[in-house]
Amino acid sequence: MENIRNFSIIAHIDHGKSTLADRFIQLCGMVTDRQFHDQLLDSMDIERERGITIKSQAICLPYRAKNGKDYILNLVDTPGHVDFSYEVSRALASCEGALLLVDAAQGIEAQTLANLYLAMEHNLEIIPVINKIDLPSANPEGVALQIEEDLGLDADHIQLCSAKTGLGVESVLEAVVNLLPPPKGDPEKPLEALIFDAFYDPFRGTIISCRLFEGKVKAGDTILFMSNKAAYRVEEVGFFRLTREPQNELSAGQVGYIIAGIKNITDTRPGDTLTLKDRPCAKALPGFQEVKQVVFSSIYPVSTDDYETLATALEKLTLNDASLSFQKDASTALGFGFRCGFLGLLHLEVVQERLEREFDLSLILTVPSVNYHLFLKDGTMKEVDNPAHYPDPTTIDRVEEPYIKATILIPERYMGVVMTLCMERRGENTHYHYPMPGRIEFTCELPLGEIIYDFYDRLKSITQGYGSFDFDLLDYRESDLVKLDILVNGERVDALSQLVHRNNARARGLHACEKLKEEIPRQMFKIAIQAAVGGTIIGRETISALRKDVLAKCYGGDISRKRKLLEKQKAGKKRMKTVGNVEIPQSAFLAVLKSDQ
């Protein structure tokens, strides 16, 4: 165990985590130059196309240090986006140390801080690494000062490197070997292993990624899941080395995979503890904190035959992405589907894209919303999180919506714009204090429904990425809510209905109409797109008709001839309009959710 190091790379978006991981893999001789390609650990197509990491990935690197000893380095590459911060906290639970990567040109940014605090919560040893020192705009001395003053990390341990050119990468690996502690644990004790990830293989069943804290496990053992007492016989154990490499056994301190023919996906939960059935450990390891979903949206298959496939696909995805939750739902226009909870709008987009690609499904998403309490005149209370279930307004006595206490941590200079944003979103009871010089902690009570739309994206853009945002649910408060319907060609589209505050209804309705006008293709007849509250139309856009030039063949001659052709065309159009059905493309549903700012 003295020669094992478990560490992960954490940083803000685009500070070079995956590139540094690529250099480590090359330096340890895991891959030949011929087989090498960028972003080796990012296995999903979406990750490669967007150039971001979505899933944290583990790899086991053999490394011969300068002192002549052979080490096993277990590296976990993590995402930088805040929507996937749950992945980071799971990766950190399996490590003893972390490399905190900072861009030499950009300096310390919002997610650098957030991920540093996550690592500190797990009591990890942290090595600061300044990356991209080859850039013309790099300022390593200034960034080193920032790291020492703002983050309070030891300046002597700062490593300088350029992951792109490979400069200084070896000294970073030497620092990992010399500065990070080896794992603790006793191979002779009963098995204690933490599941930090899992994915489904159609041939082998569920493959579990786990970190062993105590004991050992080998093929033939019977393992037990602590949370639901399910037992399985182990078929294979091993390390991740770009491909899976089987080993005789895994012992305390190591990170690896276990295959045990687990066909029942619901048995495996990331955060659960594994032990041996005939020699169980005393208690489960502390799992991961419960994740707070912010955005709720319904997902429906375009073809009703795909409902079963969608159900299986969501089960397989939650195995791989524990921050996603779902339950059954139904709609009059769209049939059966699922109501899902997400951590943010990027998370929603990624889940939608993964379902479409990995499981070959065509989907429709509804406008995101939250849970409301409706008190009816007959004295009953009804919970509604879906605008489709909103009752007749005449039967409602009052409506209550959830409020949250938002805590926003920002640099001092952004105070004004953040206050304005909160006031726009019906914020109240605002107050602030200074936890440290130059930084403000701003608290404010906001309706949850105002946040899910695009609050987080706006906060990030107005604070240039520095604003970090956390919230706790407070209570339900009375509010003046209305149901906003969108009508296309006189037909109500229930997937686009949303519950909004009366003051925002017109603005939200006009925004939806404008977005739909851009997305819906033109037809041979005029299409009216309207926003309505009850029977009142509060906004309208019209998509003009595609017209055939019926006068093209009339060159001169009497005007009555032209008029006759136009009348004939008019009659044809009128007939077509009565049967005209408008097909709304998938992109239109997503466009309504996007803000202009």
Per 3-state DSSP, what percentage of the chain is helix, strand, and coil (rounded to 5)?
A: 30, 35, 35
Dihedral of CA 325/327/330/336: which sign?
Answer: positive
- CA 283 to CA 273: how far, in whole Å? 9
217-240 burial string, b = 16+ CB within 10 Å, else e? bebebebbbbeeebebebebbbbb
Q: Is 548 exposed, middle or buried (0-12, 13-18, 19+ CB in 10 A)?
A: exposed
19 is in an annotated binding site: yes
- Taking the alpha carbons at both ends of the chain, their separation in whole angstroms is 53
221-to-194, 202, 266, 543 alpha-carbon distances in Å: 17, 23, 21, 66
In 3D, which of 26, 311, 19, 317 has the Cα closest to residue 170? 26
489-to-475, 522, 578 alpha-carbon distances in Å: 40, 12, 10
Beta bridge partner(s), residue 341? 296, 325
132 is in an annotated binding site: yes
283-to-193, 227, 272, 280 alpha-carbon distances in Å: 11, 11, 11, 9
Query: Are 590 and 368 contacting, i.e. CB atoms less than 8 angstroms apart?
Result: no
16 is in an annotated binding site: yes
> Tokens 């967007």 sit at which residue?
50
Query: Are 10 and 119 contacting, i.e. CB atoms less than 8 angstroms apart?
Result: yes
347 is in an annotated binding site: no
Which helix or strand (DSSP H or E) is residue 24 part of? Answer: helix 17-27
18 is in an annotated binding site: yes
- CA 235 to CA 555: how far, in whole Å? 83
133 is in an annotated binding site: yes
Q: Could you say which DSSP state residue 584 is in?
A: P
User: Angle of helix 448-462 relative to helix 345-358, nearest 10 degrees?
Assistant: 100
In DSSP notation, 437-455 reads: TTEEEEEEEEEHHHHHHHH
- CA 593 to CA 595: how far, in whole Å? 7
17 is in an annotated binding site: yes
Pairing of strands 192-201, 273-276: antiparallel
Residues contacting residue 571 through CB under 8 Å, at least 6 positions apart = none
201 is in an annotated binding site: no
Residues contacting residue 413 through CB under 8 Å, at least 6 positions apart = none
* Token pair recorded at residue 329: 């739902």
Residues contacting residue 203 through CB under 8 Å, at least 6 positions apart = none
131 is in an annotated binding site: yes
14 is in an annotated binding site: yes
Q: Which residue numbers belong to the known binding site? A: 14-19, 131-134
Q: Which residue numbers belong to the known binding site for GTP? A: 14-19, 131-134
